[in-house]
Amino acid sequence: MANSEIGKIGHIILIESLQSWDQALKEIEACRICGVGIKTKGPDPLTQRIQLIQVALPDNRVYIADLPGLGERERILGGLAKLLEDNEVRKVIYNANFELSFIRASQMRRLKPKNIFDILLASQLCWSGYYDLAPSKSKKNPWRKRVPDHSLEALAERHLDIILERSCQDLDWSISDHSPEQIEKEMDYSAERVRVLLPLHIIFQELIKKNRLEKVAELEFRTISPVVEMELSGICFDSKAAKALISEKESQLVEVFINLQAEAKANDFHTLSNESKMPCDYFNPESREDIIRYLQSQGFSIASTRADVLKELAGYGYIFAEELLRYRQVSHELVFLDNWLKKTHSADGRIHSTYYQLKSATGRLCSCRPNAQQIPSRGDDATVIRKLFKAAPGKKFVKADFSAIELRIMAYLSGDETMQSALQEGQDLHKLTASRVSGLPLEQVTREQRQAAKTINFLLIYGGSAQTLQWRALSDYGNFMSLDEAEEARNKFFATYPGIKQWQEKQIAEMSFTVRHYFHNCIYGTFEMPLTCTFTALGRRRVWPRFGAGIRASKFQLFNTPCQGTGADLIKLVMCELYDKLQSEDARIVGSIHDEIVLEVPEDEAEYYASLLCEVMNRVGSEMLYPVPVTSSVEISSSW
């Protein structure tokens, strides 16, 4: 490479022409591995652009391309996109979601990245939910949970004993705009951040192998692309209809508020004003103290205002508790609607949620800004709110979710023969449970009995008690069940599905045993700790630290984590395969909530994509949970 084309500062090589960039790409291809980073003017790939590209090589050299100064933005970014899609070169990136979002937005096409290794996801995966305890200032709780810091600065310090500077992060990069001193400082800063990626890659690659997380790591790295597609695609939100619904909900809230005030006043309720501390008859439905004081004055011995407590009172026909629940529901819906309205993007009028792959210790996808998981799914209010999320003109939503997936996963994990045989024969498990609990033939089971059995199934697979079953039957369906009846139903459930009982006993027994889990830091190098651990069908781990004589895991967590984590593995596998099969830019993955996937596709191709989505979900699920068959239901609609 000619010296006239390259400026050098130590091991930093500044790309000064398209020719030198092409030469750099050839060297990268020859190395078969590189660290990649970018700098942008801001975090929004829809409105902001890449300013700087940094690529680190194994010999400690770092190439830096200043896009505003080069004037060949499209061709350079095109070369970077091809590098990401080159399966022969491993790309080590910290938070690849960020890089892929900007690069895909710059190319205006679906990228097919291959051989990506994400340092952030690798770190989260290897820590597997671990935490320690640190002193707190609270007298009630002297110890607080302290989770690991997965920032690049923390990883560099913890694993490499390198302190990364933070001072230049917000510098608006462009060589022509800054002094030589600023340029040198910024280049050093940018180079150091990408240079640590390859040493970190060696460490985390070893940890992933030692902890037998190769399959899960590969899945998480593949999942980055469909997650980026969901974030960039966003979803249409009917702002006009949302504003009208907000007005309607505000009227409902006022009506419920007036009813609560009238009821409290009629029963001579008095409290102290927050401002003057003088007696007043104002009832604050958002005040825990007011609610408890009023309910106790009415003869209810309660110490909590949780929803389950109020549902129990409402189940007994107490209208005031029902009105309180309604007040909370409408208040929550107003906050939800207002939040989503504020998040409508100016660039396209759509809403773009942010998704996190490993924020949950179970591996389940989470979202925020706004939280797509908060979109209601049941009831008349949920139907009205979901109609606000509309497919674009000329498009349709294709939605599919797994059928009774939690029970199918439990059948696989526990190996229960009765449950597996019933699923293989296509039986309705809720109806089967209702039949065994009631003693009636299957054909005589009523709709109400099936609904009650649904509660029994989903509660008891996670270790629910007879007492919990009693109040859930009342709060969910208004069915009173004595404690003896609840205990009898629980016993009959486990008599029907003995494999689940045995699996739960095995999970509890494993609380007393440990497995080797490997960690790393710059002081001890790679080291192991004996920890209690749960596993998913794919091998995803969740570990719990041991403090004193025991661990900080509940029975519910020991039962729920393998099931929920397996569900997370399954939905991510489906998303990845679906992403690979989508060829048209007009068909995109726009949402995923728990076990549901939503596509936005051309209206005249909706039937094809419905068939494709259903086929992928059924096949991938059945292969993963073999011999348990997996089925899904699909729907074509104009709104979510």
pLDDT in tens, 483-522: 999 999 999 999 999 999 999 999 998 888 889 999 999 9
Angle, in degrees to the nearest 10, between helices 405-414 and 498-509: 70
* Stretch among 219-233, 261-275, 301-315, 598-612 having the lowest mean pLDDT: 261-275
* Stretch among 46-60, 165-179, 317-331, 412-426 having the lowest mean pLDDT: 165-179
Q: What confidence score (pLDDT) does residue 2 get?
A: 39
For 187-202, write each residue's pLDDT tens digit. Answer: 888 999 999 999 999 9
Q: What confidence score (pLDDT) does residue 184 get?
A: 76
Stated as kind and residue range, the H or E segment containing 459 is: helix 447-460
Stated as kind and residue range, the H or E segment containing 529 is: strand 525-535
Q: Please, which pLDDT band fits residue 551 given cuts at 50, 70 and 90? A: low
Q: What confidence score (pLDDT) does residue 188 get?
A: 87
Distances in whole angstroms, Cα of residue 374 to Cα of each of 240, 332, 333, 594:
21, 10, 10, 11
* Stretch among 153-157, 194-198, 331-335, 630-634 having the lowest mean pLDDT: 331-335
Q: Please, which pLDDT band fits residue 4 given cuts at 50, 70 and 90? A: very low
Report helix, strand or coil for 495.
helix
Q: Above 50 in pLDDT, residue 7?
A: no
Of 122, 213, 210, 114, the C-alpha closest to 159 is 122
Long-range contacts of 542-545 (CB under 8 A, 24+ apart): 542/128, 542/129, 542/361, 542/362, 543/128, 543/129, 543/130, 543/517, 544/129, 544/130, 545/130, 545/131, 545/132, 545/133
What mean pLDDT do residues 316-327 have?
91
Instruction: Report d(CA 336, CA 532) in Å as an integer.
Output: 38
Token code pair at residue 319: 């209208």
- Does residue 356 contact residue 373 with C-beta atoms inside 8 Å? no
For 407-433, write each residue's pLDDT tens digit. Answer: 999 999 999 999 999 999 999 999 999
Largest CA distance in the chain: 90
Q: Is the dihedral of CA 357, 76, 81, 597 positive or negative?
A: positive
395 versus 6: the higher-pLDDT residue is: 395
Instruction: Report d(CA 304, CA 295) in Å as an integer.
Output: 10
Domain boundaries, the chain: 3-210, 237-351, 417-496
Instruction: Report d(CA 285, CA 305) in Å as an integer.
Output: 11
Q: What confidence score (pLDDT) does residue 9 get?
A: 45
For 363-396, write each residue's pLDDT tens digit. Answer: 999 999 898 878 877 777 788 898 999 999 999 9
Q: What confidence score (pLDDT) does residue 132 get?
A: 87
What mean pLDDT do residues 91-120 have?
97
Instruction: Report d(CA 105, CA 46) in Å as an integer.
Output: 7
The amino acid sitting at 240 is: K
Q: Above 60 in pLDDT, residue 57?
A: yes
* Stretch among 41-50, 69-78, 93-102 having the lowest mean pLDDT: 69-78
Q: Please, which pLDDT band fits residue 3 given cuts at 50, 70 and 90? A: very low
Contacts of 493 (CB under 8 A, 6+ apart): 433, 436, 437, 456, 457, 460
For 266-289, write each residue's pLDDT tens digit. Answer: 988 877 655 556 667 789 999 998
Q: Please, which pLDDT band fits residue 301 given cuts at 50, 70 and 90? A: confident
Quick one: fold of 3-210?
A: Nucleotidyltransferase; domain 5 (3.30.420)
Q: What confidence score (pLDDT) does residue 549 get?
A: 59
Q: Cis bond leading into 370, ω under 30°?
A: yes
Token code pair at residue 168: 């230049």
pTM (two decimals): 0.91
Burial of 351 (0-12, 13-18, 19+ CB in 10 A): buried
Work out the percent of the chain whose per-residue pLDDT is above 70: 93
Q: Please, which pLDDT band fits residue 546 given cuts at 50, 70 and 90? A: confident
Instruction: Report d(CA 231, CA 343) in Å as an integer.
Output: 13
CATH number of 237-351: 1.20.1060.10
